[in-house]
Structure 1
Amino acid sequence: MKDLTCYHCGDPILEDINFDERSFCCEGCKTVYEIFSSNDLSSYYEMQTAPGATPKVSEGKYDYLSNDSIIEKLLEFKDGKTSIVNLYIPHIHCSSCIWILENLNKLQPAINSSQVDFPKKSVRITFNSDNISLQEIVKFLSIIGYEPYISLNDTETGKKKINRSLTYKLGVSGFAFGNVMFLSFPEYFEVSEFWLDQYKHVFRWLMFTFSLPVVFYVSRDYFISAYKGIKAGLLNIDVPLALGIFVLFVRSTMEITFDWGTGFFDSLTGLVFFLTLGKLFQQKTYNFLSFERDYKSYFPIGVTRISSEGKEESVHVNDIKKGDRLLIRNEELIPVDCTLVKGKGMIDYSFVTGEAEAVVKEEGEKLFAGGKQVSGIIEIETLKSVSQSYLTRLWSNNVFHTNKELAFTRLIDHISQYFTVVLLLIATTAAGYWMFYDMAIAINVFTAVLIIACPCALAMSTPFTLGNILRIFGNKKFYLKNAGVIEQLAKANAVIFDKTGTITSNRKSRINYEGIMLTVEEEALLKNTLRASNHPLSRTLYSMLQEYDIVPLDEYTETVGKGMEARHSANRLKVGSAEFVGNTATATTMNTSVHISSNDEYRGRFIFHNEYREGVDRVFDDLGKEFHLTILSGDNEGEKERLQEILPAKTQFYFNRKPEDKLNYIKNLQEQGYKTIMVGDGLNDAGALAQSEVGIAVSENVNVFSPACDAILDASAFDKLYQFIKAARASVNIIKVSITLSFLYNVVGLYFAVTGQLSPVIAAILMPLSSISIIVFATATTNIIGRSIK
């Protein structure tokens, strides 16, 4: 049987074009199908029926993308042959779109990777600019039906046009509803002579006319969504709503056509008006609360700025302006596009591109935000202010993605698979019962059941609860990567802590030196070596030493978990563990030590007397009642006795652990059934942070950025850690209550609908009100939880 719609885009077929036993509406759609099928991407059509769009390619439309100055403004990143662009694609609407856009590398080998942001309808494309240009990528996307919308007015990609379609639909449905109600007055007041004798048919057909734009324009989205769902073998939540509108319209049309009665045009137009009003109100409410911003407004990254007098000061990234001079240490992130002005750059762009190979940069070359200096220290001059939304995208990069799904989201998705079927059975059974008594009541019952049981409130309970908790945590200086971290926090039963820089404060340590006094040249070299490092002990020792002239190091290497080695002129210095500097004969100490050797001759050691963070004993006492606790440190056992005095008795202690030992310890706990939280400083603990269910990096306003972590905890809020975990558990309980309330709404509403006591119009009013009440409940209760965190 011949298809009536295009296999690719679903549009009606006006011109008969057949290929591969399938029908297409135009040559463009057929070409796209050929491209996909020839590249083994025909699964695109299995996820969604007719998911594509008719390709639109205008000759010369994208000629402006050959202009280098325009390309530079559009590109997010360009270094050598690797470029990244973020494009807004209005047509993104389903799983097929995501799948095909994230497989662009199979269609174009010069594209390295592509990542879709579905809510923002954008795709971030990493490509080889030597083999394909931005203009060619945009043209190719247009050819396959995903034409980007590019706004050059403000030199930003992805600016959406304001969508007022919902407002227009509300206006149309409201106008129709008001007029149909007015035309129904003679029936309401039983003005029999006037109604029956003269204008009955005129008024009825006018009501029919007013209902047409309501059904075919305002309700169009419900019908399209329901049709696509049914074609794909899925009964989505728009199926019962579309069915209710369809039944009301057909029944009303039959009544006035055969003169059975006046129909239900008032209920029909009122229903659609209140559904549209509810949808608009929910949308406005969600936008007003703006939960999506979570950590973006409070991203806790500091950076060292060099003043005009040459003094170093630590400032928040928000305070960075164009033309500022910044100091970037070893393993430190470059927060903004800049020019290298001093030092030799060895830049790792893996945070941006996923490519781990570092690139060498010389003075005067441009560096891009997101790169990490991995050898020594450099100074840069900023070319613009910091974009925290860009830093956020780095944190969310797929390169560091782990599968930590929302359990409640999976639960609701599972419920939704059966919800519509059960709902249709209830509606059909109830309507069948009432048909034996009154056909009008039967239609009202059928429609009211389909409307009142809409699970909008169920769907909103999770995002609003977790979204508000994200915002509250951000205000309290606890920054989570996504809402899934909250659920993982609530399920955890083991907490593992690093020691140095995590439960100890870098700013309160007391330091003694034992050994041969360092010469002025050696201490100056030590100061410059420490200046290049981000390790907590390095930062503490650096601040203690007196000031020396800053000199560029000829060589610098840092071995994670061991130490640093630097050379200036003929002098070579090693700083780190005793083993690293080549000394094993020194007597052990009960405190953390940093050893020094100069030109392969051992000099001595700096002994740190640790000061623990304020409230650390209280945090461990609270956690110890419910959690398996571990101290997992790379330092020696010098602090063990002291820790045993202030921490709970059941706390386990492991010292002299390398980064890989920490990761393996987390794995072993997980194999025993524990759900783990790893709290570290984000440097030596990156592997353990990534392995744990929740990895928390403690930050003291240092520019250490770890995509491996799930959360960043400001050091000043360390004493609130247990309260944050309690709040996460409470938010999960709120979701459970919200889901229960949603089901109660549906049960009570179904009772009144099935018994014929609820009209479709009242159901359409109550349905969005139930959703709003869930939103208010979730927001209010989570705000109460937030106020309890002190």
Structure 2
Amino acid sequence: MSNNIKQTKCFHCGDACAKEIIQSDKKSFCCFGCKTVYELFSENDLSSYYDLQASPGGIPKEIEGKYDFLTQQNIIEKLLEFNDETTQIVTLYIPHIHCSSCIWILENLHKLKPEISDSQVNFGKKTVRITYNTTTFSLKEAVLLLSKIGYEPYISLDDYATGKNKINRTLIYKLGIAGFAFGNVMFLSFPEYFQVSGFWIEHYKPLFRWLMFAFSLPVVFYAAQDYFISAFKGLRAKLLNIDVPIALGILVLFVRSSVEIIFDLGSGFFDSLTGLVFFLLLGKFFQQKTYNFLSFERDYKSYFPIAVTRINKGKETPIQVYDIEKGNRLLIRNEELIPVDGILINGNAAIDYSFVTGESETVQKLAGDKVFAGGKQTSGIIEIEAIKSVEQSYLTQLWSNAVFDKNKEESFTTLTNAISKHFTITVLSIAFISTIFWLWFDASKAINVFTAVLIIACPCAIALAAPFTFGNLLRIFGKLKFYVKNASVLEQLATINTIIFDKTGTITSNQKSTANYEGEQLSIAEATLLKNTLRGSNHPLSRTLYNILDEQNIVTLDHFEEHVGKGMSACYHEENIKVGAAKFVGFQEESTVLNTTVHISTNETYKGKYTFYNKYRKGVSKLFNKLKKAYDLAILSGDNEGERENLKKLLPSKTKLIFNQKPNDKLEYIKYHQAEGAKVLMIGDGLNDAGALAQSNVGIVVSENVNVFSPACDAILDASKFNQLDTYLKASKSAIKIIQWSFVLSFIYNSIGLYFAITGQLAPVIAAILMPLSSISIVVFTTVCTSFLGRKLK
């Protein structure tokens, strides 16, 4: 019976049923906890969890009373990133996340608890971001649910309070143990290296050999366990990942060395074994530290260009959000994102938290209510008082939320994946063929050859090339006021063949445009209402006209509504106003009128119009002439054809000019051309162009001093750098070339190393030293090249 228990594995977690076998539904479990989780999944139609990977679960722990502290409001507030009357959002660190099954079950928590509306896993960081309804569910219940299904979160209030990243101390411990063992094994190997005879041979040789064996045990079974676990999971899922050849090499070295010690055939290869693991971990530690140093997410936040208007002594001035301090009074216009948590001072707050919660329902707030960062104001102007400074990492998370770019990511294969797809199987084939050859001609060299091949051909350099190249370029772009969301956007920029521009606010400058008024003189009340209506909008024409008009008293509008692509309507006391297109305000415009115009009507009576004379951005003509050599160019404008002749003179002859385009028309235009094979870059102002920006392969928003932040875009370009767009596109293509050259260098390294390994001239320990050195050289190469590229951009 006892042998049967040892041989039986738990259906849920995969551990051996060492104490007892618990049967349920013709399946075996090691404990009642695993059985309970299985039944829970089965009852809620989540049994597919076991289809993705066999025995993927963790053993649930008894945690009675452990999380009682999560009932204290002051602690909950520290942990939550969003909290209103009905919805809370928390991001929890889950150490047990390790495979596709983990991701699948954690992103289907809503099936276990309907109160959970959304859960998103970040596999790299081992976190899950949970959105839940607070009326019938709590943070404590969420944590208990995760623990019940074997995914107990790690909660450290110090980490949440300081915002510091968790350090992987386990890697440091493993590196220390491997280094200690390697040093001692090398020391114990000296007598045999120098072929000491006599007293050594008679008394201490067996002792030293068994000591080397003992030192190798924690190295193989603890320090190197990540390679075995990763390889095993890959093989179980019928995948050959890059850890398979490494794990195989370590295993072969250990088995061969142990056999030699046990049967007194020799001293084995324990020096090579411990050295291999030590240098592998040293390379991994170096990669982690260097990549953390270059991390885009931590470094770019100080350059992030979201601007907001601060009210100080009645004066309105735009500031960047990281300059916001506690107690600042902020003006939030229609369609603007709230950058910090604050208290509503005045205005009609109708806040859309869909960027944060996924729920598109607007929430009404009254003066004195708390409002949260990430909400978008949808009903005119509000004023808030900041109750904390900006957490840039939160806005980064919002911009990088997978909800807003899933389709783009799924349809794009990265360069690294494309090149390294068949790498492992090639390496294994070379290793086995060369080993068989040496077994035939000189069996004493076979084990060394097999191990050296697996080590020297480790694809670490290939895996590092893209992250380091793109990571460094993202930082350089940030310093040059081009703020790109992630590395995938840079890679997609290099594939673009079509560029589509919006006109107003994109190739024209809001700050330099002028406007003439034609029509009936506005009364003081009407002028005040017009100024305050424009004050609430972020449309480029609204901002331009607002800056042109005389100062008026600031009033809180009773009603404000912005109709995308048409105009705005507002009322104050008994006065009503409409501002926008002629048809919107009830005026039949003559078909011969070609200039850009904004019409005004008050109390259903037409008053007049402002005619705009555009000032194009500096260097537009030169920029388009450079771009036409490599790209198809088009202008999609919502305005009429008044600027067609000017644009014909200004832009290259092959530029397509299309006017009177509504937001949906722009989206459909892009979709049509994508269906024809075009890779589209859309450049717009971020408000009316949100749909087109989201539909395009890459969407860039051009930002003036006041900016509507939109997760629909992939990058934000400072307006002052608009004429340098071509250099950024060239740099993206250069980054791809740098990565390709890195692959060439890696291939040369591997070819030379494989020659010496296959011919039996390379010891495994030397291969283990060379492998991290090759990785370091790739990192240095990509960093130097991207830095040189950055200097050229400047």
TM-score range for the pair, normalised by the shorter chain length:
over 0.9
Deviations 1:731-772 (A, max 9, x none): 112222222222222222111100011110110011111111
CA contact (8 A) 1:56 1:145 kept: yes
Other-structure match for 1:429: 433
Identity of aligned residues (%): 66
**How do 1:138-177 residues align onto structure 2 when only pairs under 5 Å count?**
138-153=143-158, 156=161, 161-177=166-182
CA contact (8 A) 1:622 1:722 kept: yes
Deviations 1:238-265 (A, max 9, x none): 2222222222222222222222222222
Other-structure match for 2:669: 665
Corresponding letter in the other structure for 1:150: I
| Separation in structure 2 between the aligned mates of residue 617 and residue 508 of structure 1, nearest angstrom | 17
| Separation in structure 2 between the aligned mates of residue 708 and residue 153 of structure 1, nearest angstrom | 34
1:610 shift after superposition? 0.9
CA contact (8 A) 1:370 1:391 kept: yes
1:183 aligns to 2:188 (yes or no): yes
Corresponding letter in the other structure for 1:291: F
| Separation in structure 1 between the aligned mates of residue 615 and residue 600 of structure 2, nearest angstrom | 23
Instruction: Give the counterpart of 1:111 among 116, 125, 132.
Output: 116
Other-structure match for 2:230: 225
**How do 1:327-366 residues align onto structure 2 when only pairs under 5 Å count?**
327-366=331-370
1:198 shift after superposition? 3.1
| Separation in structure 1 between the aligned mates of residue 300 and residue 325 of structure 2, nearest angstrom | 21
Deviations 1:49-89 (A, max 9, x none): 33221112321111122223322332222223222111121
Range moving further from structure 2, 757-766 or 249-258 = 249-258
| Separation in structure 1 between the aligned mates of residue 742 and residue 652 of structure 2, nearest angstrom | 37
Other-structure match for 1:280: 285
| Separation in structure 2 between the aligned mates of residue 399 and residue 284 of structure 1, nearest angstrom | 29
Instruction: Give the counterpart of 1:47 among 45, 49, 52.
Output: 52
**How do 1:189-588 residues align onto structure 2 when only pairs under 5 Å count?**
189-293=194-298, 295-307=300-312, 309-405=313-409, 410=414, 412-413=416-417, 418-585=422-589, 588=592
1:718 aligns to 2:722 (yes or no): yes
Deviations 1:152-210 (A, max 9, x none): 24654986653322222222222222222222222222222233333222222222222
**Root-mean-square deviation (CA), in Å?**
2.0
Which SS does the other structure have where 1:443 is aligned? helix
Deviations 1:294-353 (A, max 9, x none): 64332211101111x211111110111111111111111111111111111111111111
| Separation in structure 2 between the aligned mates of residue 65 and residue 206 of structure 1, nearest angstrom | 49
1:432 shift after superposition? 2.3
Aligned CA distance change for structure 1 residues 411 and 628 (closer, same or farther; 3 Å): closer
Instruction: Give the counterpart of 1:648 among 629, 633, 652.
Output: 652
CA contact (8 A) 2:494 2:736 kept: yes
Other-structure match for 2:782: 778
CA contact (8 A) 2:280 2:768 kept: yes
CA contact (8 A) 2:159 2:166 kept: no
Other-structure match for 1:599: 603
**How do 1:27-106 residues align onto structure 2 when only pairs under 5 Å count?**
27-106=32-111
1:517 shift after superposition? 1.6
Aligned CA distance change for structure 1 residues 272 and 585 (closer, same or farther; 3 Å): closer
CA contact (8 A) 2:116 2:133 kept: yes
Aligned CA distance change for structure 1 residues 545 and 40 (closer, same or farther; 3 Å): same
Corresponding letter in the other structure for 2:366: E
| Separation in structure 1 between the aligned mates of residue 460 and residue 54 of structure 2, nearest angstrom | 25
CA contact (8 A) 1:151 1:157 kept: no
Corresponding residue pairs, total: 789
CA contact (8 A) 1:502 1:681 kept: yes
Corresponding letter in the other structure for 1:286: Y
CA contact (8 A) 1:578 1:584 kept: yes
Structure 2 regions of 5+ residues with no counterpart? none
| Separation in structure 2 between the aligned mates of residue 715 and residue 161 of structure 1, nearest angstrom | 37
Which SS does the other structure have where 2:198 is aligned? helix
Which SS does the other structure have where 1:266 is aligned? helix
CA contact (8 A) 1:526 1:573 kept: yes
Range moving further from structure 2, 523-532 or 356-365 = 356-365
| Separation in structure 2 between the aligned mates of residue 413 and residue 511 of structure 1, nearest angstrom | 53
Corresponding letter in the other structure for 1:447: T
Aligned CA distance change for structure 1 residues 624 and 409 (closer, same or farther; 3 Å): closer
CA contact (8 A) 1:149 1:158 kept: no
Aligned CA distance change for structure 1 residues 176 and 155 (closer, same or farther; 3 Å): closer
Instruction: Give the counterpart of 2:23 among 14, 18, 30.
Output: 18
| Separation in structure 2 between the aligned mates of residue 153 and residue 216 of structure 1, nearest angstrom | 32
| Separation in structure 2 between the aligned mates of residue 408 and residue 265 of structure 1, nearest angstrom | 44
Deviations 1:23-74 (A, max 9, x none): 2221111111111122222222232333221112321111122223322332
| Separation in structure 2 between the aligned mates of residue 206 and residue 8 of structure 1, nearest angstrom | 38
Which SS does the other structure have where 1:192 is aligned? coil
| Separation in structure 1 between the aligned mates of residue 429 and residue 157 of structure 2, nearest angstrom | 53
Other-structure match for 1:609: 613
Deviations 1:375-416 (A, max 9, x none): 121111111111121112222234323322389965644665
| Separation in structure 1 between the aligned mates of residue 255 and residue 126 of structure 2, nearest angstrom | 36
Aligned CA distance change for structure 1 residues 692 and 110 (closer, same or farther; 3 Å): same
CA contact (8 A) 1:63 1:135 kept: yes
| Separation in structure 2 between the aligned mates of residue 521 and residue 374 of structure 1, nearest angstrom | 25
Instruction: Give the counterpart of 1:708 among 709, 712, 724.
Output: 712
| Separation in structure 1 between the aligned mates of residue 725 and residue 568 of structure 2, nearest angstrom | 32
| Separation in structure 2 between the aligned mates of residue 28 and residue 36 of structure 1, nearest angstrom | 12
Which SS does the other structure have where 2:406 is aligned? coil
Corresponding letter in the other structure for 2:783: T
| Separation in structure 2 between the aligned mates of residue 511 and residue 411 of structure 1, nearest angstrom | 49
| Separation in structure 1 between the aligned mates of residue 589 and residue 620 of structure 2, nearest angstrom | 35
Deviations 1:106-140 (A, max 9, x none): 11111001011222221111111112111111111
Aligned CA distance change for structure 1 residues 159 and 10 (closer, same or farther; 3 Å): farther
Which SS does the other structure have where 2:42 is aligned? helix
Range moving further from structure 2, 169-178 or 58-67 = 169-178
| Separation in structure 2 between the aligned mates of residue 89 and residue 754 of structure 1, nearest angstrom | 43
Deviations 1:669-721 (A, max 9, x none): 22222111111100111111111111111111213011111111111110111
CA contact (8 A) 2:414 2:488 kept: no
| Separation in structure 1 between the aligned mates of residue 573 and residue 220 of structure 2, nearest angstrom | 82
1:143 shift after superposition? 0.6
| Separation in structure 1 between the aligned mates of residue 678 and residue 638 of structure 2, nearest angstrom | 22
